[in-house]
Amino acid sequence: MCAARNRGTVRTMPDSLRLDEFALTSASAGALLRQRHQPLQEALYLERGSVAFGVQEEGRMRHLLGIMEGPCWLDAAPALADQPCAVDMVAQTPVQWRAVPVGHLRNYLQRWPAEAQGLVTSMAQGYCQQAALAVSRVAQDAVARCAQWLLQHAEPGDQGLRVQLAQSKRQIAAHLGIAPETLSRVLRQLRDQGLLDGLGKNLWLPQPESLRQLAKA
């Protein structure tokens, strides 16, 4: 008689999460479903529709990072990783979703085998890191474009390179493809770094070489 092999204790996966227990909510195209840095009390499961995610400024999606089509989870990763949402999410079409309390979702995950829990948690943290990096690169891109524009419009002057702003900040921002408040923030950042000086429409570039390095970033 063959001896029975000891396979140890095998934990099976729990039943699927009953999403139909949560109310179905609808919204029209253009609705803001998630805002950057927003703490999450609920995770959204998109039943149907299309949602854009990226960086929104002045009510417009200035930097589109991607589009999600239902059915899918919109923000389960930051919810499970205990992090705020890193991107803005805006409905591209009429949408329907279910909001699942974060605590409920985490309790459900804890019913999984330890190995599966670790895998999902690791994937959630990785997603959050990638999303934060993508948003950071968008900000860096805005700085690079602004630096390029300043250098392109610079002329020799008594104190080095001079930039005469012939357009309004709103017009310059539109040319660069960024929001006016983003342009103001970038200019303030360049001033703080000693790369920009001057007042009003008369600006100076004290360190053009450093600015060129930013423009190449």
Cα–Cα dist 53/36, whole Å:
10
**Domain extent listing, the chain:** 20-111, 140-216
How far apart are alpha carbons 149 and 173 in whole angstroms? Answer: 10
Query: In this structure, are residues 36 and 75 in contact, taking their beta carbons and an 8 Å threshold?
Result: no
The fold adopted by the segment(s) 140-216 is Arc Repressor Mutant, subunit A (1.10.10)
Model confidence pLDDT, tens digit, residues 174-192: 788 777 888 888 999 999 9
Question: How much is the average pLDDT of 94-113?
Answer: 96
Q: Is 45 helix (H, G, I), strand (E, B) or coil?
A: strand
- The answer to whether 166 and 176 have CB atoms below 8 angstroms apart is no
Model confidence pTM above 0.75 = no
Q: How far is CA 43 from CA 19, 35, 193, 195, 196, in A?
A: 11, 13, 39, 43, 43
* Cis check: omega of the bond before 71, within 30 degrees of 0: yes
> At 137, is the pLDDT very low, low, confident or very high (cuts 50, 70, 90)?
confident
188: left (phi over 0), alpha (psi -120 to 50) or beta: alpha
For residue 204, what pLDDT is reported?
Answer: 92
Compute the distance between CA of residue 63 and CA of residue 43 in angstroms, rounded to an integer: 23
Could you tell me which CATH number the domain at 20-111 has?
2.60.120.10
